Structure 1
Amino acid sequence: MHADMQGSPWASDVVTLAVEVLRVLADPTRLQIAGLLLDEEKSVSDLAAELDRPGPGVSQHLAKMRMARLVTTRRQGTSVLYRVENDHVRQLVIDTIGHVEHLLEEIPAHHRPLRAASS
């Protein structure tokens, strides 16, 4: 263990990288992108349409997320599809939103029963 991290359960380089990962996710658009990619792959144009944002801006956010290893890509024909990198990233996003829902609501959305869709 490093002398400057005495008493810390993690090495300095691990903490530094963790802070960088959290910094990348600390952008509202990037957090929304991560949420949209939790359960399915999407292209830049799909994400841009769902977020009502310009494609080039979404692409820049995805590039930062890719550098932080939060998302990965897969080529399908001429399209590039994005998805969250792994289950750890998926759980980080879910836990972050779940924690905030607990802070803001008496009964958080993730604890409410699902309502049947109206016919």
Structure 2
Amino acid sequence: MSEPLYQLKAEFFKNLGHPVRIRVLELLSLREHAVAEMLPEVGVEAASLSQQLAVLRRANLVVTRREGSTVYYRLTSPRIAELLSVARGILSGVLEGQAELLADLRATGPR
């Protein structure tokens, strides 16, 4: 018997559940990147980046190609970039709502 879809979705989102992985996916949404290009953008040690890239590879969210000693990463699907864009839109709405709530709290003052 196969895993229920909701469990697969939970595992999918769990694989996205790390700031370094999100940043890597954002970079790869723009274009293919070599590991050395990602390091300064992500701001972690090489070993940590390698570990997070391995998680993304196992989840089939990224693929690699080798050119000499350089390893390049790219997204397996442009829909991953779409998902990140949708998440940004959702977060923008949430933050706008929180900003409105904060403004209301400040306007009413202490009671």
Q: What TM-score range do you get, normalising by the shorter chain?
A: 0.7 to 0.9
CA distance in 2, matches of 1:67, 1:38: 18
The structure whose RCO (Cα within 8 Å, separation 6+) is larger is 2
Segments ≥4 residues shifted beyond 6 Å: none
Normalised by the length of structure 1, the TM-score is 0.73
Match of 2:43 in 1: 52
TM superposition shift of 1:77: 2.2
Q: Which of 82, 96, 100 matches 2:73?
A: 82
Q: Which letter does structure 1 place at the counterpart of 2:85?
A: I
Matches within 5 A, 1:101-116: 101-105=92-96
Greater helix content: 2
Question: Any unmatched runs of 5+ in structure 1?
Answer: 3-10, 107-119
- Structure with larger Rg: 2
Using the size of structure 2 for normalisation, the TM-score is 0.77
State the Cα distance separating 1:12 from its structure 2 match. Answer: 4.6
The aligned length equals 97
RMSD: 1.9
- Letter aligned with residue 18 of structure 1: K
Tell me how far 1:69 sits from its aligned partner. Answer: 1.0
Identity %: 30
2:17 paired with 1:33: no
Shift of 1:105: 3.1
Query: Tell me, which stretches of 5 or more residues in structure 2 are unaligned?
Result: 98-111
